[in-house]
A and B are shown apart, each in its own frame.
Chain A
Amino acid sequence: MAEKTNPGDVEPIQLAWDGDTTPTVVELRGLTKRFGNVIALTDVSLDVPQGITGLLGPNGAGKSTLIKILLGLVQPTAGTGLVEGRDVLREGKAIRASVGFMPEDDCYIPGISGVEMVHFAACLNGYPSLEGLRRAHEVLDFCGTEEERYREVDTYSTGMRQKLKFAQALVHDPSLLILDEPTSGLDPDERQIMLNRIQSLSRKAGMSVLISTHILPDVQQICDHAIVLVEGQVRRQDSIENLNRTSSPSLQVRIVGDMAAYTTALGNAGITSSLDGTGTLIVEDPAGDLAGRLWSLAFQAGVGIRSLTPAMTSLDEVFIQAMQEGGSGNGNA
Chain B
Amino acid sequence: MAMHDLGYRSWDAHAPYQKYSWLSISRYGVRLAWKSHWLRRIVFLAFMPVALMVGAVFFFEQASNTPAIFPAVVTVVEFLERNDGQSADGDFQQPYQSMADRAVFLRTRDPEKIASYLSEHRPRVWKDILFVFFKNSQGLTLVILIGMIAPGLISRDMQSRAFLLYLSRPITPFQYALGKATTVWVFVASVSTIPALAVYFVGVLFSPNLGVLLNTWDIPLRILLASGVLAIPTTALALCLSSIVHESRYAGFSWYAIWIVGAVATNILTGIAIAEDPQNISFFARSAWSWLSLYHVLGIVEQWVFGLMAKPTDVIPYLTMLVVLTIVCFSILMRRITAPIRI
* Contact present for A144 and B1 (CB under 8 Å): yes
Is the CB of A185 closer than 8 A to any CB of chain B? no
Is the CB of B165 closer than 8 A to any CB of chain A? yes
* Contact present for A205 and B15 (CB under 8 Å): no
Q: Indicate with 1 or 0, residue by residue over A155-175, a CB within 8 angstroms of chain B CB atoms.
A: 000000000000010101100
Query: In the complex, what residues of B have CB within 8 A of residue A173's CB?
Result: 10-13
- Among B122-166, those with CB < 8 Å from A are 156-157, 160-166
Segment at the interface with A among B90-98, B167-175, B287-295, B315-323: B167-175
Is the CB of A13 closer than 8 A to any CB of chain B? no
Query: In the complex, what residues of A have CB within 8 A of residue B20's CB?
Result: 126
* Contact present for B17 and A128 (CB under 8 Å): yes
**Given A105-B164, A120-B28: A97 touches B12 (CB 8 Å cut-off):** no
Q: Indicate with 1 or 0, residue by residue over A123-163, a CB within 8 angstroms of chain B CB atoms.
A: 11111100100010011011010100000000000000000
Query: In the complex, what residues of B have CB within 8 A of residue A123's CB?
Result: 17, 21, 24, 27-28
Complex Cα spacing A125 to B23, Å = 11
* Contact present for A93 and B170 (CB under 8 Å): yes
Segment at the interface with B among A51-59, A66-74, A223-231, A266-274: A66-74
**Given A126-B17, A172-B11, A204-B8: A93 touches B164 (CB 8 Å cut-off):** no
Query: In the complex, what residues of B have CB within 8 A of residue A126's CB?
Result: 15-21, 170
8 Å CB contact of A111 from B7, B21, B35, B342: B35
* Contact present for A124 and B171 (CB under 8 Å): yes
**Given A109-B28, A109-B165, A173-B11: A125 touches B170 (CB 8 Å cut-off):** yes
Task: Write the chain A residue with the least CB distance to B22.
Answer: A124
* Contact present for A107 and B165 (CB under 8 Å): yes
- Among B1-41, those with CB < 8 Å from A are 1-2, 4-13, 15-21, 24-25, 27-28, 32, 35
Interface size range on A against B:
35 or more
Is the CB of A299 closer than 8 A to any CB of chain B? no
Query: In the complex, what residues of A have CB within 8 A of residue B8's CB?
Result: 139, 142, 170, 197, 200-201, 204-205
* Contact present for B13 and A112 (CB under 8 Å): no
Query: In the complex, what residues of A have CB within 8 A of residue B7's CB?
Result: 142, 200, 204
Interface centre among A101, A125, A200 (most CB of B within 10 A): A125
Is the CB of B274 closer than 8 A to any CB of chain A? no
Is the CB of A108 closer than 8 A to any CB of chain B? yes
- Among A175-213, those with CB < 8 Å from B are 197, 200-201, 204-205
Complex Cα spacing A141 to B9, Å = 11
Query: In the complex, what residues of A have CB within 8 A of residue B342's CB?
Result: 35, 74
* Contact present for A96 and B15 (CB under 8 Å): no
Query: In the complex, what residues of B have CB within 8 A of residue A200's CB?
Result: 7-8
A205: min CB distance to chain B, Å: 5
Task: Write the chain B residue with the least CB distance to A180.
Answer: B164
* Contact present for B17 and A103 (CB under 8 Å): no
8 Å CB contact of B25 from A103, A108, A124: A124
Is the CB of B341 closer than 8 A to any CB of chain A? yes
B238: min CB distance to chain A, Å: 18
Is the CB of A282 closer than 8 A to any CB of chain B? no
**Given A105-B161, A107-B160, A135-B13: A71 touches B168 (CB 8 Å cut-off):** yes
Query: In the complex, what residues of A have CB within 8 A of residue B2's CB?
Result: 141, 144, 146
Interface centre among B11, B17, B343 (most CB of A within 10 A): B11
A169: min CB distance to chain B, Å: 8
**Given A138-B9, A142-B5: A127 touches B162 (CB 8 Å cut-off):** no
Is the CB of A11 closer than 8 A to any CB of chain B? no
Interface centre among B28, B163, B168 (most CB of A within 10 A): B168
Query: In the complex, what residues of A have CB within 8 A of residue B160's CB?
Result: 106-110
Query: In the complex, what residues of B have CB within 8 A of residue A74's CB?
Result: 341-342
* Contact present for A124 and B341 (CB under 8 Å): no
Interface centre among A93, A124, A125, A141 (most CB of B within 10 A): A124
Task: Write the chain B residue with the least CB distance to A100.
Answer: B168
Is the CB of A121 closer than 8 A to any CB of chain B? yes
A65: min CB distance to chain B, Å: 9
Complex Cα spacing A195 to B189, Å = 49
* Contact present for A205 and B18 (CB under 8 Å): no
Complex Cα spacing A199 to B182, Å = 41
B157: min CB distance to chain A, Å: 7
Task: Write the chain B residue with the least CB distance to A144.
Answer: B1
* Contact present for A107 and B28 (CB under 8 Å): no
A238: min CB distance to chain B, Å: 28
Complex Cα spacing A173 to B24, Å = 19
8 Å CB contact of A107 from B21, B161, B341: B161
**Given A97-B170, A110-B156, A173-B10: A125 touches B18 (CB 8 Å cut-off):** yes
**Given A109-B160, A112-B28: A121 touches B165 (CB 8 Å cut-off):** yes
* Contact present for B168 and A141 (CB under 8 Å): no
Task: Write the chain B residue with the least CB distance to A109.
Answer: B162
Complex Cα spacing A141 to B2, Å = 7
Q: Indicate with 1 or 0, residue by residue over B57-101, a CB within 8 angstroms of chain A CB atoms.
A: 000000000000000000000000000000000000000000000
Complex Cα spacing A181 to B156, Å = 23
> Could you list 17 A-B pairs, sorted by A, with CB under 8 Å?
A73-B167, A93-B172, A96-B170, A97-B18, A103-B165, A107-B165, A108-B160, A109-B156, A109-B165, A120-B28, A123-B21, A124-B169, A125-B21, A126-B19, A127-B13, A135-B13, A173-B12
* Extra inter-chain contacts (7) besides given A123-B21, A142-B9, A170-B8, CB under 8 Å: A74-B341, A110-B156, A124-B166, A125-B170, A127-B15, A168-B165, A200-B7
* Contact surface of B with A, Cβ cutoff 8 Å: 1-2, 4-13, 15-21, 24-25, 27-28, 32, 35, 156-157, 160-172, 341-343
Q: What are the 5 tightest A-B residue pairs by CB atom distance, in nearest-first order?
A: A126-B18, A126-B15, A123-B24, A173-B11, A101-B168
